[in-house]
Structure 1
Amino acid sequence: MPRSRTTALAALIATLALGAGCTAPQDTTATSTRPRTVEPVAGCGRASWTDPADRSPGRTPARCDKGAPAPRPLKRHRTLTVATGTLGAEYVAPLRTALAKGEFAKEGLDVRLKVLPTPEALPLLAKGDLDVLWAAPEAAVVNGINGGFTIRWVAGNFSPDPKSRSGLWVRLKNGRTASSVSLRGSTMGTMIGKGSVIMYPMARSFATHGADMNSVAFQQLGSSDVLTALTGGGVDSAWLLDPVWRRVDGDRKYAFLGGQPQGEPLGGALYGPHLLQQDPDAGVAFLRAYIRTVNTYFADDYKADRAFVAELAKLLKVDAATLTAVPPLRMDWEIRKGTAERLQKAYRDAGVTKGPPLPENRLVDRTLYAEAVGHRP
């Protein structure tokens, strides 16, 4: 995000922390202090958990059988409010499907979706006015935790299909090829600010092409202007999302330099103190329904099923042809080891976070999805 928004958010975080009686971060663990029993789960065998250190692009995501883990209805009904930046993006499809198919209801949960950008949702999550933030551990999250907020990234969302070319595209000049392009001194168009998780894969592409965060001029544009700026010569490169990149794919005047790492989710579910400490049973139930939805409807190439694509298109309010124009996402509820560290390095390099990096256990908690699939470390 622009530096002015980052500064304003930091001030808001400090104000809310003081109002809640928080001082310097003292949160060494965000999970409930009550011991939790993790039992084997039918239909979730060895394939339901993968080594977090495995970052191989061809890694098979964790999977249970279709319909697993089975519902375990809570003894007392809960209403949970989930904030997300959009209801129409494909990465929100498992949530929309879980609601439509009654998977949350089977757990005794009444889940309500609310559209809010991360900077606005974050203080509400920390105060308990929101239960779940379906987003990413952006720079605002890191700053919030450093400011005293009890927030953890508790489940992943997706990684790209190998055929996806959503990411950094460059306009080729003077007979250059993708391998010979230098981005140093260039301008880049993006609708995403410097506080986004996309800064991590973007920095990797910069390094491959002779640049860093300080040698590229960022130009933040509206969603409808990014492609126009690239093709019209207003910027040298641009971060193109699904399905916009299809407009230049195959055109020799442009080259794809890289996108989100395969096999490494960069977003998903973030919990605040309510589901982490006060009601972890509901926190596990939410993830159980989400994981069951992935296993039942998104385990493989879900876009090969025309009837399901039609359902998704209706839920997301997009054209079915738009959905099938790009490869399916690889839905993945797990979080890779070291992702939090790599994200924080990108934020520090971009100048949107300050102070020492958070240790992984201050930002990530895998115990709730582990319990949902019956994995005992």
Structure 2
Amino acid sequence: MARRLFLARALMTGVTLFGVLGSLAACDAQTSESARSGTPGKPRPITPVAGCAKGWTDPADASAARAPARCSPGAPAPKPLKKKTKIVVSAGTLTAEYLAPLRIGMEKGEFSKEKLDVELKLLPTPDALPLLAKGDIDVQYAAPEAAVLNGIRQGFDIRWVAGNFTPAPGSRSGFWARLKPGETAGEVSLKDRTVGTLIGKGSVIMYPMEKVLAAHQADVDSVRFQQLGPAEVLTSLKNGGVDAAWLLDPVWRQVDGDTGYAFLGGQPRGEPLGGLLFGPDLLTGNPDAGVAFLRAYIRTVNTYFAGDYKKDQAFLDDLGEALKTEPDTLAAVPSLRMDWEIRSGTVERLQKAYATAGVVEGDPLPEDRVVDRSFYTEAVGHKP
């Protein structure tokens, strides 16, 4: 219990556990080597995939106007594995809307079509990360946060293999401030104010948050961060416990339109900041299963989440059932723009934000130590 608490605190603060991670990495390196069936990084044949002519966009394009890649509904078609394979996936929540393609894909049998038996486990990121590196779980639905990068730096065989979503144009999920009397959104100075946050300086949200702070006469050293639980963020913002906070869907709707609060900015519109992380079992032990997993995931996006999926009431009801959330609650905020691709430069931008916040050590990691696009490029038949 003490060790798990220590790991959890490390994720929340972004502090690197060099001793713990180092010993785990040494063990994981042996486990990874014994599981490998081929040479790491060995090129795999890529053939065109029917219906996926538009299943790829230029990774360098991170503009807000970029339309996410899309194949035709039902594409890429299933290519069942020779034998049924179990895939264990962990997530820090089972009800967040960004998990919808995974939950719907399981409900609609898209993974079963690939002969994959997917088990979803609720695990906090600090608990899941060493399990992913060791091979006790295969996929982690998370983000390349500071703790993940620190783990990779220490030898964890983990890669970010697919994105998750970008906000819809009408979304105001992001950084909100409580205005002082007579203050307007354009005049807000965040210097010397207290900011409420769920994870801390090691979160991917530090990247867009740093931009908001700079636009309002502040930086990470001139504000006070206060870590809060999910149920405490809005309450603390309203009662004056914090001056600003990052509000997620659908919480921001409770202050939207209130002249006492101002929306100052959110996640970049064209740039996913999280998604799927693979460990050694799929990266190099059984890459066929890794491609099959992403093929099913991408097919689910193309079939059920291609556009404004909340306009279909029947599907909204299905989504509410899958996420254990009232359909009216889901309908209160815009549909997410599901996006399996990873933009080039995102890892570099995240590492700069982490370095500024003081939650990573050592030289920045090159992108290919963190990102592996080969699984989704093979799934959609794109030759980079």
| Pairwise same-fold verdict (TM > 0.5) | yes
TM-score range, shorter chain: over 0.9
Q: Residues 201-259 of structure 1, C-alpha deviation per residue, up to 9 Å, x if partnerless?
A: 11110111111111110111121211111111121111111111101100111000011
In the TM superposition, residue 353 of structure 1 has moved relative to its aligned partner by 0.8
* 1:251-290 equivalences in 2 (<5 Å): 251-290=258-297
Measure the CA separation in 2 of the matches of 1:36 and 1:180.
54
Give structure 1 regions of 4+ aligned residues with deviation exceeding 3 angstroms.
1-11, 18-22, 30-35
Q: Which residue of 2 aligns with 1:40?
A: 48
In the TM superposition, residue 35 of structure 1 has moved relative to its aligned partner by 3.4
* Closer, same or farther: CA 88–21 of 1 in aligned 2, 3 Å: closer
Measure the CA separation in 1 of the matches of 2:77 and 2:219.
47
Matched, 1:364 2:376: no
Q: Which residue of 2 aligns with 1:293?
A: 300
Measure the CA separation in 2 of the matches of 1:17 and 1:336.
28
Q: Residues 268-316 of structure 1, C-alpha deviation per residue, up to 9 Å, x if partnerless?
A: 1111111111111110000000000000000000000000000110111
Is the 1:44–1:69 Cα contact (8 Å) retained in structure 2? yes
In the TM superposition, residue 90 of structure 1 has moved relative to its aligned partner by 0.3
Matched, 1:351 2:349: no
Q: Which residue of 1 aligns with 2:34?
A: none
* Matching residue's letter, 1:356: D
- The SS at the match of 1:249 is coil
Pairing partner for 1:13 from 10, 18, 21: 21
The sequence identity of aligned pairs, in percent, is: 65
In the TM superposition, residue 9 of structure 1 has moved relative to its aligned partner by 4.2
Q: Which residue of 2 aligns with 1:27?
A: none
Q: Residues 91-121 of structure 1, C-alpha deviation per residue, up to 9 Å, x if partnerless?
A: 1110000100100010011011011111111
Q: Residues 16-72 of structure 1, C-alpha deviation per residue, up to 9 Å, x if partnerless?
A: 1233467xxxxxxx9844431100000000x21000010110110000000000000
Measure the CA separation in 2 of the matches of 1:327 and 1:5.
31
Q: Which residue of 2 aligns with 1:182?
A: 189
* Closer, same or farther: CA 21–36 of 1 in aligned 2, 3 Å: closer
* Matching residue's letter, 2:253: R
In the TM superposition, residue 74 of structure 1 has moved relative to its aligned partner by 0.7
* 1:1-377 equivalences in 2 (<5 Å): 6-7=14-15, 9-20=17-28, 32-45=40-53, 47-377=54-384
Aligned length: 369
- The SS at the match of 2:368 is helix
* Matching residue's letter, 1:247: Q
Is the 1:2–1:193 Cα contact (8 Å) retained in structure 2? no
Provide the alpha-carbon RMSD of the alignment: 1.6
Is the 1:88–1:316 Cα contact (8 Å) retained in structure 2? yes
* Closer, same or farther: CA 243–31 of 1 in aligned 2, 3 Å: farther
Is the 2:26–2:155 Cα contact (8 Å) retained in structure 1? no
Measure the CA separation in 1 of the matches of 2:41 and 2:291.
15
- The SS at the match of 1:103 is coil
- The SS at the match of 1:169 is strand
In the TM superposition, residue 2 of structure 1 has moved relative to its aligned partner by 5.5
Measure the CA separation in 1 of the matches of 2:43 and 2:357.
40
Q: Residues 146-188 of structure 1, C-alpha deviation per residue, up to 9 Å, x if partnerless?
A: 0011111000000000111111100111312111111111101
